[in-house]
Amino acid sequence: MDKEVMLVIQNRPISFSNAGLQKKAVNFGNDSQKKQEQGGTTRRQFIKDTAAWLAIAGLGGMVFLQDKKIETLEKGQKANSLARIPELVKEVGPSTVAIGTRWNTSGDITKIDGKGSGFIIEDAPKNLLIISNDHGIRYNVLEDEKTGKKCVKIYFYNQDKSVIPATAELIASDPGVDLAVLKFLPDQKIPDFVKPIKKFGYVDKRGIPAITIGCPRDLEDMVNFGVVSNIGVHNLIAPAAECFTIDAPINQGNSGGGTFGLNGELLGVNNAVSTDAHDVGYSISTKTLSEFLKNNDIHVPGLTDQ
């Protein structure tokens, strides 16, 4: 059976399959929830049956104690992870930007016609670059009236919820790995609150807590929390990229934002979400991002020198 992957772009779910491109409504239903409930019932019954058997053998209580210890440990780890999120968002949130084609102001309200997200890194002190998905950039490229360069509109969200626009030039993109890199035009004023990402990590095992940050549907710093569910996978949106999956949903317009570990390190680039499984998001690994940057002669300390 062909896998389907939803392209997160232009606020519309579009699914890909080997049979071609097609629009498709997404219906998650309650099947997965029922299976989880059934699985939980089966596991509990298994523990009870096993405990009864061990009690006959004179080993009663071991299973209950071990199961309680594991459950307490899992709850403790999750609580610690959740407690860290607000601090983490405060740390890496200022690196997140929205990407769109125009902005409209009505009274005190500024609305972005957003198509994707991105995040800020730097290849030299104060030389800022924007990383995003190729699929979120290609439909938003405009020719700058002054320079004639291929540019994209970037938007920063201020702490007072105001929106600050800027223009960035498209330096390189690769649809095979679904990545793009941009650079701000020289005359652009970057807000003081913007902080580039300087910590990088690599996902080499499952179960690692992670959060995704992006700007979907005119919402700033939208945050989702989950864990890495699989590694070394691929999808039809970025067929040449090494990806990992997370059980945190990647909302429409969230693609191009960052996937982060709990220490604020960048783990990947939000990419797509599966339509045939509930809450299975794809993130492009920092290994692929590093190779993409090096192929375009861009050096980012801590990322491309690993």
For 159-170, b/e burial (b = at least 16 CB within 10 A) is: eeeebbebbbbb
Structure tokens at 32: 């997965």
- Between CA 235 and CA 135 the distance in angstroms is 14
Domain covering 198-295, topology? Thrombin, subunit H (2.40.10)
Common-topology check for domains 95-184 and 198-295:
yes
Domain residues of the chain, as ranges?
31-88, 95-184, 198-295
Given pLDDT bands bounded at 50, 70 and 90, which one contains residue 5? very low
- Between CA 82 and CA 84 the distance in angstroms is 5
Structure tokens at 302: 């801590």
- Between CA 282 and CA 196 the distance in angstroms is 23
Structure tokens at 10: 């232009």
Name the more confident of 44 and 4.
44
Residue ranges with strand state E in 158-285? 163-174, 179-184, 209-214, 222-233, 243-246, 258-260, 266-274, 281-285
Quickly count: other Cβ atoms within 10 Å of residue 227's Cβ. 16
Predicted confidence (pLDDT) per residue in 112-121, tens digit: 455 689 999 9
Structure tokens at 290: 């590093």
Look-up: residue for tokens 């919402």?
A: 219
Predicted confidence (pLDDT) per residue in 154-210, tens digit: 999 887 777 889 999 999 999 999 999 999 999 898 999 999 999 999 999 999 999
pLDDT of 301 > 50? The answer is yes
> What mean pLDDT value characterizes the chain?
75
- Between CA 186 and CA 153 the distance in angstroms is 14
Structure tokens at 139: 């439909």
- The correct answer on CATH 2.40.10.10 for the domain covering 95-184 is yes
Look-up: residue for tokens 């061990």?
A: 54
Q: What is the average pLDDT across 47-54?
A: 38
| Predicted local distance difference test score (pLDDT) of residue 124 | 86
Predicted confidence (pLDDT) per residue in 135-147, tens digit: 989 888 988 888 8
Pairing of strands 109-124, 96-106: antiparallel
Q: Is the CB of residue 102 less than 8 Å from the CB of residue 218? A: no
Q: Is the CB of residue 153 less than 8 Å from the CB of residue 169? A: no
pLDDT of 122 > 50? The answer is yes
Residue in 90, 169, 186 with CA at minimum distance from that of residue 130: 169
- Between CA 238 and CA 198 the distance in angstroms is 25
Can you say whether the dihedral through the CA atoms of 78, 81, 84, 90 is positive or negative? Answer: negative
Q: What is the dihedral of CA 123, 271, 281, 289, to 10 degrees?
A: -40
